[in-house]
Structure 1
């Protein structure tokens, strides 16, 4: 993995953990998804417009890729928010982020013909074990198990959209900003009817949490654009695991700042997950 690719993904991990923490703290519904997606449009719009006008690879397949990424990311955001409302950040986030690279690596092996060495398989097994223990194992209780279920669902969508988007930017050569912008447009359009019916909540979010919403709008797209650029020259099996450095950050924020507790145990198993990620990334 090149130093540039490593730097891009590491920066994305910090940005990703930060906006997830803010989404959890605001505890909003789909109206929050619509608001930060809509706000990201003018921020990244000039860059996306320029790339759309200068991109010479337009085709029906590119259109399918853009529509697909919009739908996959919409499903991801909706399930993620539901998980945050029902469970703990320090379980939902690590579970989702750990499941994602395992599944995306397996899908990359099958669909993109990228090799999966034995060392990578070992790293994946350690990640799965760490996730199971992070939730407290079989005696973890109802809330950890619910958090685990949401985390696994979100992780499945992460793995799916990671491989889908890698295909878009590395095979179809769609500019990363354009790829992410299509997702933001899709969320803005599809969620607008819902947001309009709950306009009072939209206005309250903007009135009471303007700085946090703006930070989410910038970091949500910015973090993933960095990942997409890394995917243009780095295989999925390296990019997806390295993103999981954000697990440690999320566990700290959830346990300390949000008062979810069990910092020592959850941080310890988060370190195991990151160790598995490191083995996977170094394979």
Structure 2
């Protein structure tokens, strides 16, 4: 992999870790927060997404509409599950578990639904990911209201949604030959439309929620699409099998950020666990 491509993927990983960390600063209603940053992201992506339509590289078709609609529904579930997990439990547990279980469940879904047969090293990688998650979580039976086992369960639920949209998005872009930027722009637009009725039912809280969370909303709206676009750019010149594990270095970056910003405990154990998860993901990619 070229040094420039490696740099692009590492920047994408940092962007992903940043927007996930910033979302922990959210205050107030989860639906309003997700709706607000989704709307902002859609507006920011619109000029890039509409360009292939104007040039004719990506015609408006039922495949684009259907693909974006299903993706939007899956991403709404993902966003709400992720944010609820962050609201209730340590980000240092939920984030690495979510990013680790996503590739494992994607592999399992591919075996069960697509008939794929992974190599022995990929299966070993899945076991290593689970071992890393156990290290990150620590003792799940220690006393306290924020049991790590509950955070692991929310992270695993988020990982399931990651696996779902990963399989669908990959199929949409490769099988339906949809322009990635246009596709994701449509996904963002439809996500905001799906959440609008729920947001309007909370219209009394809307102004306060946006004012209180203005910085996190804008940060997520910029860095979330940026991470997607940079990874897509890297995949043009490098194999997915190399890009995917390198991208998940965001797990280690995220662990450092939550320790520094939120003073979450057990930094050394979580870094070691995150590194084990990363090694497992690399094995799955092989």
Alpha-carbon distance in structure 2 between the residues aligned to 1:2 and 1:10: 12
The answer on whether the counterparts of 2:129 and 2:276 sit within 8 Å (CA) in structure 1 is yes
The answer on whether the counterparts of 2:71 and 2:169 sit within 8 Å (CA) in structure 1 is yes
Alpha-carbon distance in structure 2 between the residues aligned to 1:234 and 1:161: 22
Of residues 125, 149, 156 in structure 1, which corresponds to 2:127?
A: 125
Alpha-carbon distance in structure 2 between the residues aligned to 1:205 and 1:38: 14
Query: Does 2:226 align with 1:222?
Result: yes
Q: Could you tell me which runs of 5 or more consecutive residues in structure 1 were left unpaired when the two chains were aligned.
A: none
The answer on whether the counterparts of 1:109 and 1:116 sit within 8 Å (CA) in structure 2 is yes
Query: Does 2:186 align with 1:182?
Result: yes
The answer on whether the counterparts of 1:242 and 1:277 sit within 8 Å (CA) in structure 2 is no
Query: Does 2:155 align with 1:151?
Result: yes
Q: 1:63 to 1:3 in 2, by over 3 A?
A: farther
Q: 1:234 to 1:60 in 2, by over 3 A?
A: farther
Q: 1:104 to 1:171 in 2, by over 3 A?
A: same
Of residues 158, 173, 176 in structure 1, which corresponds to 2:177?
A: 173
Give secondary structure in 1 for the equivalent of 2:147. Answer: helix
Alpha-carbon distance in structure 2 between the residues aligned to 1:243 and 1:56: 27
Alpha-carbon distance in structure 2 between the residues aligned to 1:271 and 1:19: 20
After TM superposition, the structure 1 stretch with the greater mean CA deviation from structure 2, 109-118 or 42-51, is 109-118
Alpha-carbon distance in structure 2 between the residues aligned to 1:245 and 1:25: 22
Q: 1:44 to 1:59 in 2, by over 3 A?
A: closer
Alpha-carbon distance in structure 1 between the residues aligned to 2:163 and 2:103: 6
The answer on whether the counterparts of 1:123 and 1:276 sit within 8 Å (CA) in structure 2 is yes
After TM superposition, the structure 1 stretch with the greater mean CA deviation from structure 2, 6-15 or 68-77, is 6-15
Q: 1:137 to 1:67 in 2, by over 3 A?
A: same
TM-score relative to the length of structure 1: 0.88
Mapping 1:259-278, distance limit 5 Å: 259-278=263-282
Give secondary structure in 2 for the equivalent of 1:55. Answer: coil
1:252-272 deviation line (CA, Å, top 9, x unaligned) = 222331122121222221122
Aligned residues: 282
Give secondary structure in 2 for the equivalent of 1:139. Answer: coil
Map of 1:34 onto structure 2: 35
Map of 1:68 onto structure 2: 70
TM-score relative to the length of structure 2: 0.87
1:210, CA displacement in angstroms? 2.6
1:222, CA displacement in angstroms? 1.7
1:23, CA displacement in angstroms? 0.7
1:58-84 deviation line (CA, Å, top 9, x unaligned) = 543333211111111010001111111
Map of 1:45 onto structure 2: 46
Q: CA RMSD in A?
A: 2.6
Q: Could you tell me which runs of 5 or more consecutive residues in structure 2 were left unpaired when the two chains were aligned.
A: none
The answer on whether the counterparts of 1:44 and 1:181 sit within 8 Å (CA) in structure 2 is yes
Give secondary structure in 2 for the equivalent of 1:103. Answer: helix
